[in-house]
Amino acid sequence: DDAPFTCNNKLIGARAAINAYRAIIGLEPFEYDSARDDNGHGTHTASTAAGNAGVAASVLGMPRGTISGIAPRAHVVAYKACLSLGCFTSDLAAAIDQAVADGVDVINYSIGGGASLTGADEIAFLFAADAGVFVATSAGNDGPGPGTVGGPASVPWITAVGANTQQRFFQGSVVLGNGAEYVGASVTAGTDWLPLVDAAAAGSELCIPGQLNVEIVAGKIVLCQRGVIGRVAKGFAVYLAGGAGMVLYNTNNVDNLFTDTHWVPSVHTDFTPGQAIKDYIASESAPTARINTGAVTTWPQAPSMTIFSSRGPNPVALNIIKPDITAPGLQILAGNSPTPGPGSVPGELFQAIAGTSMSSPHIAGIFALIKQAHPSWTPAMAK
């Protein structure tokens, strides 16, 4: 059902390199058997690196300002080599080789795995470097422990990018019936005053889909603890049970606050606010709350490394320092696929997500600008 389309002067090509995946695993019904993005990850990274300037972005009907890619006048060729269960290195190497043959100047590679020096993609990137192609890749999302950089970020001939926080912060808050207000992160809409319930009293403190009691949750804001399953899945659980909003809280005060595209109005807070909200619910016979969103503020700790960003030392070569550089990787507002697959909110053209996948295309875009300014530079010089 992938309808024909005409490439414009931004997206000048799109190729699928999924022969191994197609032959060994096969595609799910929701996946496009073409280069079209059925996940949103590729659209987000491509638009971060080279999306047009002056684009008005909105998420879930909430205007989020005007955005631009790092190199807004660059052209894009998209290479799809991964599907919902991952990637085969033969497909990845084929995509890299094809990009080099197509004459690209820069490759963004928001893909990674376990640390190694001899994978097919690492070798393909060695030939890409020899051909003069600048490459940025994700350092990995396995931090904050030491020695967590994965492949191909560990090799010396490509630029490995860590993720840091940025000053712009999409802020939400939850106001309790007793007047207390707790600040967190949000890109959803807010709510009116509603009853407030602890998910622990509704059958699933972690808000596992299918485990929340509909009679307790319906029409209420639900307090969910983070962990075990994905953050968006928790909002989906609240949505399935008829809930009207969610307060998601971390299990510590050092983790990052994420702006996921949730199924219900939501705000993501640290542990201490979450515990205070939990105590308020327990102390009241009829607890209530309201979620406020829409504010854009400044994060005082920025720039700082995100907790998830993989750290050195390089586990396969201690004398090769990795990551090479860091770039913004939290609450990054860029493009999305309107058909993102099961469990994700459909119909959205923008999202504000996080990861070293989001930081790498910042450097890829900068590489495009460097290539324009210094066309004779080698990849090592650009790095």
Q: What is the CA radius of gyration of the chain?
A: 22
Place of tokens 């799910």: 28
Q: Tell me: the pLDDT tens digits for 174-226?
A: 999 999 999 999 999 999 999 999 999 999 999 999 999 999 999 999 999 99
Per-residue pLDDT at 1: 57
Per-residue pLDDT at 47: 98
More confident residue, 101 or 1: 101
**One-letter identity of residue 201:** A
Mean of pLDDT values over 338-358: 95
Task: Write down the H helix ranges in the chain.
Answer: 19-24, 41-50, 89-102, 120-130, 214-217, 231-240, 271-283, 356-373, 379-382
> How crowded is residue 275: how many other Cβ atoms within 10 Å of its Cβ?
15
**DSSP helix/strand/coil, 296:** strand
Mean of pLDDT values over 357-375: 98
pLDDT-derived band at 2 (thresholds 50, 70, 90) equals low
Average pLDDT over the chain reads 96
Per-residue pLDDT at 296: 94
pLDDT-derived band at 54 (thresholds 50, 70, 90) equals very high
Q: Tell me: the pLDDT tens digits for 259-284?
A: 999 999 999 999 999 999 999 999 99
Cβ atoms 343, 39 nearer than 8 A: no
Above pLDDT 70, what percent of the chain?
99
In this structure, of 92-96, 198-202, 287-291, 314-318, the range with the lowest mean pLDDT score is 314-318
Nearest to 352, CA basis, from 39, 37, 42, 44: 44
- DSSP assignment of 56-114 equals EEEETTEEEEEE--SSTT--EEEEE-EETTEE-HHHHHHHHHHHHHHT-SEEEE---BS
pTM metric for this prediction: 0.95
